[in-house]
């Protein structure tokens, strides 16, 4: 039975495995939501999607993964809110919170890394953040090996990451179904993100224009070429990319194939990502 007031807290892989083993013996399907914490409604929707897909037990990992941040990125200032996160997990009846230390994930002398290659990591985030996806792939593989979930949920907001994780489990034969969950937005359409916490009121007003401009381009891709200028005019400091791609391979779009409009922009020191299907 889930106790809504009390997710089990595991700080080591051994504690995590012990809890999961008991549930598995009881025949429960296990779902995992890997996160870096500073939880918002988007994360909580991932848990709801897992339950809908048949997970009887929902685990969250909360780990700000140093390996996926570049030397000049926001690792040290990334929001860490353990008490608030645990309260949110209690409120949705999550079964377990896995809160490993850096040493638990990367013990002294850690010597392996999973380095993705191929078209999915040919550009976009991989070009702007060298080494980022090796850090993501390595930690996600470790979390999937440690928790051995039947299902794991990832948000569509980090679209390239979602495709990467699907490829990771396929290529490494990890027996876990990956669920991609639609982006949760605020009432003005801004994609929820832990990094939105960096934005002041004026920046939030600009940030909310990203989704609107993208929605117009998605409705009429002829507007794509002028998109970066429109975004800069709207107040964004830089446009890292704004591209229309094949939704499954990230290759250039081809007739008859599903398409995705994908963007990364900068507002001050904050990067914002968004994407949407193009009919
Ligand atoms: O999307 C995230 O929060 C992270 O990249 C993930 C998947 C938890 C890996 O650290």
Q: Which atom of ligand 1 is nearest to the CA of 36?
A: 3
CA atoms of 140 and 119, how far apart (whole Å): 20
* Tens-place pLDDT, residues 70-124: 999 999 999 999 999 999 999 999 999 999 999 999 999 999 999 999 999 999 9
C-beta atoms surrounding 71 within 10 Å: 6
8-181 and 194-274, same CATH topology? no
What is the 222 CA–ligand 1 centroid distance (Å)?
A: 33
Fold topology of 194-274: 3.30.1300
Between the alpha carbon of residue 54 and those of residues 27, 28, 93, 165, 238, the distances in Å are: 12, 9, 15, 20, 42
Q: Looking at domain 8-181, what is its CATH homologous superfamily?
A: HUPs (3.40.50.620)
68 CB under 6 A from ligand 1? Answer: yes
Domain locations in the chain as residue ranges? 8-181, 194-274
- How many angstroms does the Cα of residue 255 sit away from the middle of ligand 1? 32
Quick one: which atom of ligand 1 is closest to the CA of 136? 9
CA 10 to centroid of ligand 1, rounded, Å = 18
Give the model confidence (pLDDT) of 141-188 as tens digits: 999 999 999 999 999 999 999 999 999 999 999 999 999 999 999 999
Residue where the block lists tokens 């570049």: 70
Among protein residues, the one with the nearest Cα to ligand 1's atom 8 is 35
Q: What amino acid positions are annotated as catalytic residues?
A: 43
Q: What is the pLDDT of residues 201-220, one digit of tens each?
A: 999 999 999 999 999 999 99
CB 275 within 8 A of CB 158: no
Say if residues 159 and 260 touch (Cβ distance below 8 Å): yes
């Amino acid at each position: 039975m889930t106790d809504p007031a009390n997710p089990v807290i595991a700080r080591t892989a051994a504690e995590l495995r012990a809890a999961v083993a008991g549930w598995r013996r009881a025949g429960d399907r296990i779902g995992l939501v890997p996160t870096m914490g500073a939880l918002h409604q988007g994360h909580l929707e991932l848990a709801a999607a897992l339950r809908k897909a048949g997970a009887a037990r929902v685990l969250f990992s909360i780990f700000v993964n140093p390996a996926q941040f570049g030397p000049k990125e926001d690792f040290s200032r990334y929001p860490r809110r353990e008490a608030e996160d645990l309260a949110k997990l209690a409120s949705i009846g999550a079964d377990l919170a896995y809160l490993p230390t850096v040493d638990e994930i990367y013990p002294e002398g850690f010597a392996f890394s999973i380095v993705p290659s191929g078209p999915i990591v040919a550009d976009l985030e991989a070009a702007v953040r060298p080494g980022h996806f090796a850090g993501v792939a390595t930690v996600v593989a470790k979390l999937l090996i440690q928790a051995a979930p039947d299902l794991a949920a990832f948000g569509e907001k980090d679209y390239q990451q979602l495709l990467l994780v699907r490829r990771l489990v396929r290529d490494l034969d990890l027996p876990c179904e990956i669920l991609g969950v639609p982006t949760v937005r605020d009432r003005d359409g801004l994609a929820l993100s832990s990094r939105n916490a960096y934005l002041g009121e004026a920046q939030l007003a600009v940030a909310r224009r990203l989704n609107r401009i993208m929605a117009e381009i998605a409705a009429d891709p002829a507007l794509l070429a002028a998109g970066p200028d429109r975004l800069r005019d709207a107040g964004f400091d830089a446009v890292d990319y704004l591209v229309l791609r094949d939704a499954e391979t990230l290759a250039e779009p081809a007739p008859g194939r599903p398409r995705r409009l994908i963007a990364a922009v900068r507002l001050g020191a904050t990067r914002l990502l968004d994407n949407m299907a193009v009919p």
